[in-house]
């Protein structure tokens, strides 16, 4: 087999096995999830299958790589500086805290750190939906210094998710007002709906608003909020059970549009 090597790599949380020549050039790869061996040259078909044989499970399709979809082509041509997909949950807050850590106050912790904790908890829960066909973007910058905490795109549609730190306190919701513990009530649900409206405008698709609460002791709702879904961070999994709205190709196409920073410049 002329020294062919199998090199495992991870891409978007999924394992791929690349078959390389001695000079390091790839000639094929095995996508476990798709059960497909992609050949860059039919000349080495048998050699590739021989070296991959210990790793193959079940029946697999063998052939040249599939033609890229429009969404994949858009991703490939996107400049790295304009790609929002690598953003981590709370990316903007992490950058702000790195630039200005602020003072450590014993009795009054920096509210940015609590907000970051909430975004990370909600973001990690959303990222776990990927196996169910969902794609999530975090910390999407908007004109005027605003940002969308999380945008979830999947079989159940599009959801604009704002995270709120509750810290074992009672949360009272009286649309549009939200009160955490003994704090002052504020019209947070208006902001949640406004974020979803801006996302709908940018993507020319219906985006539903969600308020995700991180660590509340309990939640009181005087009446069902208009349009806004209220979830605890641990209830985010409920979104993964929704379906029947978007096909996989639609999910990927919308994700390709949403991950482009330029999409959000005029909303």
Q: What pLDDT is stored for residue 105 in this prediction?
A: 56
Q: What pLDDT is stored for residue 232 in this prediction?
A: 96
Q: What pLDDT is stored for residue 223 in this prediction?
A: 87
188-203 and 248-258 are packed helices; what angle lies between their axes, rounded to 10 degrees?
100
Is residue 149 located within the same domain as residue 170? yes
Q: What pLDDT is stored for residue 123 in this prediction?
A: 97
Is residue 152 located within the same domain as residue 229? yes
Is residue 55 located within the same domain as residue 117? no
Q: What pLDDT is stored for residue 103 in this prediction?
A: 61
Is residue 86 located within the same domain as residue 120? yes
Is residue 130 located within the same domain as residue 249? yes
Q: What pLDDT is stored for residue 150 in this prediction?
A: 98
**How many domains is the chain partitioned into structurally?**
2
Is residue 42 located within the same domain as residue 84? no
Is residue 40 located within the same domain as residue 87? no
Is residue 76 located within the same domain as residue 45? no
Is residue 94 located within the same domain as residue 212? yes
Within 13 A of 46's CA, how many CA atoms are on the CB side?
A: 1
Among candidates 25, 6, 2, which has minimal Cα distance to 17?
Answer: 6
Place of tokens 């990316």: 91
Q: 12 — phi, psi (to 5°)?
A: 55, 40
Is residue 137 located within the same domain as residue 82? yes
Is residue 55 located within the same domain as residue 175? no
Residue 213's CB: how many other CB atoms inside 10 A? 24
DSSP state of 89: T
Question: Of 63, 83, 101, which residue sits at a domain end?
Answer: 63
Question: Of 63, 85, 108, which residue sits at a domain end?
Answer: 63
Q: What pLDDT is stored for residue 14 in this prediction?
A: 67
Q: Are the CB atoms for 250 and 257 separated by under 8 Å? A: no
Q: What pLDDT is stored for residue 174 in this prediction?
A: 95
Question: Of 48, 63, 78, which residue sits at a domain end?
Answer: 63
Is residue 118 located within the same domain as residue 202? yes
Rounded to whole angstroms, the Cα distance separating 65 from 28 reads: 9
Q: What pLDDT is stored for residue 100 in this prediction?
A: 85
Which domain covers residue 144, as residue numbers?
70-264
Mean pLDDT, contiguous 10-residue spans, the chain (267 residues): 79 75 83 87 88 90 79 74 94 91 68 94 96 95 95 96 96 96 95 96 94 96 93 95 90 92 92
């Amino acid at each position: 087999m002329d020294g062919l090597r199998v090199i495992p790599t991870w891409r978007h949380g999924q394992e791929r096995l690349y078959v390389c020549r001695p000079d390091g050039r790839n000639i094929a790869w095995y996508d476990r999830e798709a059960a497909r061996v992609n050949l860059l040259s039919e000349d080495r078909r048998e050699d590739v299958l021989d070296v991959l044989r210990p790793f193959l499970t079940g029946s697999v399709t063998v052939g040249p790589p599939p033609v890229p979809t429009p969404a994949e082509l858009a991703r490939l041509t996107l400049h790295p500086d304009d790609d929002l997909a690598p953003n981590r949950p709370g990316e903007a807050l992490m950058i702000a805290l790195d630039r200005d850590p602020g003072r450590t106050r014993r009795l009054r912790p920096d509210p940015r750190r609590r907000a970051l904790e909430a975004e990370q908890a909600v973001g990690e829960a959303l990222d776990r939906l990927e196996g169910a066909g969902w794609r999530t973007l975090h910390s999407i910058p908007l004109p005027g210094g605003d940002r969308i905490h999380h945008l979830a795109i999947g079989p159940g549609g599009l959801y604009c998710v704002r995270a709120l730190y509750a810290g074992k306190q009672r949360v009272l919701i009286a649309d549009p007002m939200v009160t955490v513990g003994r704090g002052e009530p504020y019209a947070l649900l208006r902001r949640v709906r406004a974020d979803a409206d801006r996302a709908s405008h940018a993507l020319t698709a219906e985006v539903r608003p969600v308020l995700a609460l991180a660590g509340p002791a309990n939640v009181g709702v005087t009446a069902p909020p208009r349009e806004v879904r209220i979830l605890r961070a641990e209830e985010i999994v409920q979104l993964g059970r929704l379906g029947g709205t978007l096909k996989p190709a639609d999910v990927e196409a919308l994700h390709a549009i949403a991950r482009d920073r330029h999409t959000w410049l005029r909303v």
